[in-house]
Structure 1
């Protein structure tokens, strides 16, 4: 796997609320990203597949190019935007970014709720580029620019 990096970090404090971009975030094993809607006892909290979501900048650009729809990173409502890494290669494997160790769990295609919140037709263009879900094995701080390493 080629080393990629974390390009941008997003958290969504409320289920259907605005997504916020942050420069760094604390990742807590068994809980998720501090400040994100899945961290506390809210909607689907403590589901390991909801701890962290990743999507690729390259996939976002491919979806835009194929559809002509102006899909923004915030529209994806995912936590970590990556650059330079094939996310499918991380499924079933452990990898790190900054101080944090993750395990790639499953693909994360967009859903009708995501499309409704974005107000854009993004299901079809992003079905192959929706990213992945991961659980946090070892917590710590993740920063924009952190290198992603396969372990």
Structure 2
């Protein structure tokens, strides 16, 4: 399930496969460079699975819900993490009310809840509000971890 990204230069919609979300590419129409994903992606179950199976960089997942105050406070930190580590990590946001099966899979009992995955395997999990510096540290640690 590719992610659709619009070119900032010409507006062309480009299909980016999960395996290339952290890569630079080129617009299919105007050939201007498309930078790696630098913002959190709202993930449904299909996109979550696609990224989990195909990402070549660590993945931070923010389990959240609309009604959750701490989740809203975490949102700018999550966005900054995605921007700071563009090309080095992928950041997903999973609405735990819409996709309870994904939350249950990782035993999410309280939100916000953050997980870090590498090669589809859980590397780190923590509930509660944290800053972008902590999220970035988890992702950098995961990037250097050896996971089969």
Determine which structure has the larger strand proportion and give its number: 1
The TM-score, its normalising length taken from structure 2, stands at 0.26
Q: Which has the higher contact order (CA 8 A, sep 6+)?
A: 1
Computing the radius of gyration from Cα coordinates, the structure with the larger value is: 2
The TM-score, its normalising length taken from structure 1, stands at 0.26
